[in-house]
Structure 1
């Protein structure tokens, strides 16, 4: 396993528990041991390389031996995975509840789809812009949760306001007829010159 780790890209060195220079890397009961792995690159590159090392460790696992990868980069990857999973679960529950509330509020199955579609489109555009911006800028992983939370709330609220206002206008026109400013004229009289009798 350690030979495969040493051959991985970005690994600067591996100090195994049985190396001559290793000290204190085996527990007193000899049931637990650890190896120290050095990685090169910036934090983002080390996070990617830590994921690759996790795959190498999983592929080369020995029967009866449990192995884990720990450190700053692996912990960052685990936290990011938990955060993304929690955000997806929260979005699923939130959208389902929002759909139920919109159906009860608007009394229709079609009208609630408009706020949800507008929200989905706005989030897709925002995430696309962030993807482009990450080529020149770096963002914290918390930005994804913030964009999702704020975008969903504002998108649904604004779309609900527009839909409600449109329904109010339709109801008002159905009660009193179209307003004078929007009702097309049925005829437009043109002035014709009248003949003048000579005196």
Structure 2
């Protein structure tokens, strides 16, 4: 039995494993959850639960899409879109206090969805659109404002895929921006192509990495 436990303690599960031997009692632990690694976008933290010992054990394993250069590139693009130096060039900051009064009651009651955002976009109420996306995506208003109000690129498609918007809503948001004047340009076409190629699980994974990295950065600044 002692040899079994020693052997179990030295076993590191692969990312395909849904069970792993408990290092304490050698019972098979069940995979409880997977979260992004806080410091390495190519890794994920797998946490297993041993029901017998009532303990958990975590392992850092390669992310399932870490070998996909396309996804790695998209993660880097999303990060770059909110780069501190780039953000300094974006001087237009909006006052979202009125939009917050409109959007937050809808969000808290579970009424904030794609159709509501599309209606605000068609009415050219861009502040409400931006604040709604902020709430649905769980991101800071400044990051959403920079993504939506500037020239569009892959990160916009990734963001809107994550919150499960469709192409009609994307068109409406694009045309709602005052700087756009209702015209469809090449950046919208490229964003929609990226949007259509990307699966929602992949978009969720990319944005999860981004948000975890941002959280780690903010905590490090405290």
Q: Normalising by structure 2, what TM-score?
A: 0.25
Instruction: Please say which structure displays the higher CA radius of gyration.
Output: 1
Q: Normalising by structure 1, what TM-score?
A: 0.27
Structure with bigger RCO (C-alpha 8 Å, 6+ apart) = 2
Q: Which structure has greater strand proportion?
A: 2
